[in-house]
Amino acid sequence: MNLRIDSRSVRLRLDADEARALKAAGELRERYALLGLDLMLRVTVAPLEGGIAITFADGEARVVVDGAALATALARAPAKDAGVYSRTEQGIAQALEIDVFNAKKQSDRRTSKQGGSS
């Protein structure tokens, strides 16, 4: 999982395997601990009008994504814009993106490194 935050957006990128695991299990968790930061990222599937909601509280980033919206995004992958998107009342973009292309590039790099070392 890759969490990206800037002044106008909060985006969570999952590769296709992570997105499928989220759909199957209903929840994914990952802890980030570096430079004094200790953050738990929790992604949950639940019925949600608007598709996605991202909040931060008590050292936890909580992402709730609508199950039907996630299924639609998975069906659209590997389209470049496969994901679930919304905006807060303050205009901040929120997104859960399924990044099939980077996952394929990483897989290809691993395969090429393994093949080159034989």
CA distance 61 to 53: 10
Domain with 18, as residue range(s), is: 2-108
Would 117 be classed as within a structural domain? no
- How many independent structural domains does the chain possess? 1
What backbone phi and psi angles, to 5 degrees, belong to 70? -65, -45
Provide the pLDDT for residue 113: 54
Q: What is the CATH number of the domain that holds 98?
A: 3.30.1360
Provide the pLDDT for residue 105: 54
Would 41 be classed as within a structural domain? yes
Provide the pLDDT for residue 66: 98
The pTM score is 0.81
Would 116 be classed as within a structural domain? no
Would 115 be classed as within a structural domain? no
> 116 CB contacts (<8 Å, ≥6 apart)?
none
Would 11 be classed as within a structural domain? yes
Would 40 be classed as within a structural domain? yes
Task: Provide the residue-wise pLDDT of the chain in tens; the chain has 118 residues.
Answer: 999 999 999 999 999 999 999 999 999 999 999 888 899 999 999 999 999 999 999 999 999 999 999 999 999 988 888 999 999 999 999 999 998 765 455 555 555 555 554 4
Would 51 be classed as within a structural domain? yes
